[in-house]
Amino acid sequence: MRYIAIILLSNLWGQTWIDYLRSPVKWTVRLTNGYDNNVLRLSPIEKDNAALNQTILGGAKTFDSHYIRFSLSGLKKIQLADREKQIQLFFKSNISNYIHYKNRQHWSGYVKASYHWGAYRRLEYMVSHLNDYYLRHYKDLDITVNQLFTCSFTDRGHRLLVSHPIKLRLWVTGSLSYTQRYYDPSFTEFDSDITMTALKLSKRFRDFGTVSVEGIYGIADNITFGKVAKSSNLDRSYRHMELYLPMSYDQGVLGLKEVGFSLRADFRRYGVEDISDPLHSGRSHRETKFDIWVEKNLKENLMISCTIRLRNRYTDSRHDWVSELKSFDQLQAWISIEWKMLYDRY
């Protein structure tokens, strides 16, 4: 009898986990149509130079471009025996196609697993990948001082995050991330390992929405400094601090699901101190991004959203010509349609 009881309990336990794994999967398809007025982030001086040297644009004919992005994501929730505890598995992939900049076509994606044990309580681990992201054409100083080559990088990232409430509808989120940013063979002197820590405080207001403030600190270690060819004689390491302030209103104004805006301010300081290289030595930049967006449900499973982003980077250097060369403005706008589906056929 004892052995029969053990077998029955084993079967019941196994059946429970089978039931857990048979929970539905929520799929989301997202199609984005966007516009970028300064794809290569060129300063006014560089735009003037591009009129004389078309290779700066990497084969493109304009500074701006429309783009299309296709995204697919899936969410699976596994409810545990304790109803307050849950495991969530999520993935998302993106394919981006720039109409006027073929070099900018790329894909990205991430997978994350999280454990939830109550409201605003979660532990999460994420792995991400950004594949072959094109910046622009640059000179490979190890080969020539005139010819331009395609410069792209690939990111491989990991992030550990924990969230916990402080009081009613007030919670704090902390994270630690590690990113390997490696460039094309012609530009491996820029390869860096980036470590970032972030702390975010969020407040949910009953008759308004959510307001958050986040501080981020990061260190980029130029791992190829002094190791590859002559162009690696400069240390491209940097430190950066970032402040992020998002706010969203979700009380149905004008029939909208949500209206929001955010401000992101980033300060980056490079470690290069070489009097023979005035372009990089002692350089820093301040960058701001201002986003405003609206979301509206067209149907229960169909949503449309519109976003506008204003971006400005000011480069600070002891040389005025460096500041003018590396500062830029950028305007981006996009419209997304999102379709949600539920798969529960097991």
Return mean pLDDT, the chain.
88
Domain map (residue ranges) of the chain: 33-343
| pLDDT score at 147 | 77
- Going by CATH, does the domain composed of 33-343 fall within 2.40.160? yes
| pLDDT score at 324 | 87
pLDDT at residue 199 greater than cutoff 70: yes
Stated length of the chain: 346
| pLDDT score at 144 | 63
* Of residues 51 and 69, more confidently modeled: 69
Q: Per the structure block, which two tokens stand in for 166?
A: 């402080």
Chain segment 269-323, per-residue pLDDT in tens: 887 766 666 666 677 889 999 999 999 999 989 999 999 999 999 988 878 888 8
CB 114 within 8 A of CB 123: yes
Q: What is the DSSP string of 271-293?
A: ----TT-TTTTT-EEEEEEEEEE
The closest alpha carbon to 158, from 177, 181, 174, 175, belongs to 177
Helix (H) or strand (E) holding 43: none
Half-sphere exposure of 122 (CA within 13 A, CB side): 19
| pLDDT score at 15 | 44
* % of the chain residues with pLDDT over 70: 87
SS3 content of the chain, % helix, strand, coil (to 5): 15, 60, 25
Q: How confident is the model at residue 167 (pLDDT cuts 50, 70, 90)?
A: very high
Chain segment 53-99, per-residue pLDDT in tens: 778 888 888 999 999 999 999 999 998 887 889 999 999 999 999 99
* Of residues 15 and 58, more confidently modeled: 58
CB 283 within 8 A of CB 257: no
pLDDT at residue 12 greater than cutoff 60: no
pLDDT at residue 7 greater than cutoff 60: no
Rg value, the chain, Cα? 24
